[in-house]
Homo-oligomer: A and B are copies of this chain.
Amino acid sequence: MKTQQATVPLRAALLGIGTVGSGTFEVLRRNQEEIKSRAGRGITITHVADLDETRARRIAGASVHVTTDARQLIGNKDIDVVIELIGGCGIARELVLAAIDAGKHVVTANKALLAVHGPEIFEAAQRKGVIVAFEAAVAGGIPIIKALREGLTANRIQWLAGIINGTTNFILSEMRERGQSFDEVLKEAQRLGYAEADPTFDIEGVDAAHKATLMSAIAFGIPVQFERAYVEGITRLVAADIRYAEQLGYRIKLLGIAKRREEGVELRVHPTLVPARRLIANVEGAMNAVMVHGDAVGTTLYYGKGAGSEPTASAVVADLVDVARLASSDARHRVPHLAFQPGALRNVQVLPMEQTLTSYYLRLRVKDEAGVLAQVTRILADAAISINAVLQREAGDVGGAGSQHTDLIILTHEAQEGAMNSATQRLQGLPAVLAPIVRLRKEELA
């Protein structure tokens, strides 16, 4: 009986056969021998549920049972694992919970669902003794969840920082290389298929925040708590700041950052100045990369395609192989969903943004007159914010050749966001300051 079990293929039901779903189908078909000889048993998608039955039949072929009724499918006793590739928090949540309730293992690429409803889902899975695997939910094909949960188990993880949204990284790369505006590049990205028709979730940083939230839970052993994440996108970035940052030796990247501090955990997504010599600063186009710093291992980095049909399918299938190996094992010996044993999850506070520590890039458009720099530095000094570098540039793009305006660019040392908020407000009140102050955060990632 036991020996027989290993040779029986794992039977999966696929919910939603779009881009990633058809990639998963294709990879399982093309590499079936390779996968079987690694997993010790075959993996086969026996059922597909999709509202577009015709498309589903075309992709899945005649041997697969196709239905439009995912709800009905889930209870099927001939299914071992449910692959959820529908996305979003509506029907996907309902189906994942129903699958768990029916005792099925779940493999999902749905970061929004897990970031927002993670506690409910993981608790249900724990109770039922089933696996919820989600390598595909973060950074596509890069095995970053496995690295965090298993590869770095020896470490107290101090921080992680990642380029985990390909759309925004493509836009930032293009803005820098071509000196174009955000709006121009976004249009091009949409034309090329790198950005969706409604790109809000990507460009406002929400997608990156979902992924950063999941990684923070696994890295620090805290519950998934998306509602506590600080989220700032790239829509207000202008080419001038990308250029100034470059002159100071930095690149601007949209980073998802999670940092352990004594008082709690920082969890934030925002455009970030990164030293140009760091590997992560050189990750261009739609590629993803995640840096993880552990106390024993030091800094590590994981790089690859963060989206797309087959790269994401690579992660889905890796999870299926793990399920194939572990499905018959005692649940206590499996890697815990969130890396730490459920009882060991610590309710560490995610710090309010005002309490986070980072360094800053400030750009002030000021009157070109004596004493302005003194007023600015005085305000920063009063707030105990120390200055790392100052750059003064004629603001050619506003006043023309005879301009009375100057761009004053300041890099600060580390300061608390709250203190910087007050200082910025005071700076904004100076009569010499002519436009809204641009403020970006900077991380050395050393």
User: Which B residues touch A311, using CB under 8 A?
Assistant: 296-298
Most buried by B among A28, A35, A135, A154: A154
A322 to chain B minimum Cβ distance, whole angstroms, is 7
User: Which B residues touch A141, using CB under 8 A?
Assistant: 294, 296-298, 300
Contact residues of A between 96 and 151, Cβ < 8 Å to B: 135, 140-143, 146-147, 149-151
Binds B, one of A224-232, A251-259, A329-337: A329-337
Residue A302, interface by CB 8 Å:
yes
Residue A317, interface by CB 8 Å:
yes
Residue A328, interface by CB 8 Å:
yes
Copies in the complex: 2
Contact residues of A between 20 and 43, Cβ < 8 Å to B: 23, 27-28, 30-31, 34-35, 37-40
A251 to chain B minimum Cβ distance, whole angstroms, is 13
Q: Are the CB atoms of A335 and B325 closer together than 8 Å?
A: yes
CA distance A401 to B30 in the complex (A): 62
Interface residues on A, range: 35 or more
Residue A221, interface by CB 8 Å:
yes
Which residue from chain B places its CB closest to the CB of A28 in the assembled complex? B154
Q: Are the CB atoms of A39 and B301 closer together than 8 Å?
A: no
Q: Are the CB atoms of B302 and A301 closer together than 8 Å?
A: yes
With A38-B340, A154-B321, A341-B38 known as contacts, the answer to whether A302 contacts B305 (CB < 8 A) is: no
Contact residues of A between 297 and 329, Cβ < 8 Å to B: 297-305, 310-311, 313-318, 321-322, 325-326, 328-329
With A296-B310, A304-B300, A333-B329 known as contacts, the answer to whether A321 contacts B150 (CB < 8 A) is: yes
Q: Are the CB atoms of A143 and B150 closer together than 8 Å?
A: yes
Residue A155, interface by CB 8 Å:
yes
Q: Which of B146, B156, B310, B335 contacts A147 (CB 8 A)?
A: B146
Q: Are the CB atoms of B303 and A300 closer together than 8 Å?
A: yes
With A156-B31, A329-B333 known as contacts, the answer to whether A339 contacts B38 (CB < 8 A) is: yes
Give 6 pairs: A residue, B residue, CB < 8 Å, sorted on A: A40-B333, A143-B150, A153-B317, A297-B304, A297-B310, A325-B334
A interface with B by C-beta (< 8 Å): 2-3, 6, 23, 27-28, 30-31, 34-35, 37-40, 135, 140-143, 146-147, 149-156, 221, 279, 282-283, 294-305, 310-311, 313-318, 321-322, 325-326, 328-330, 332-336, 339-341, 344
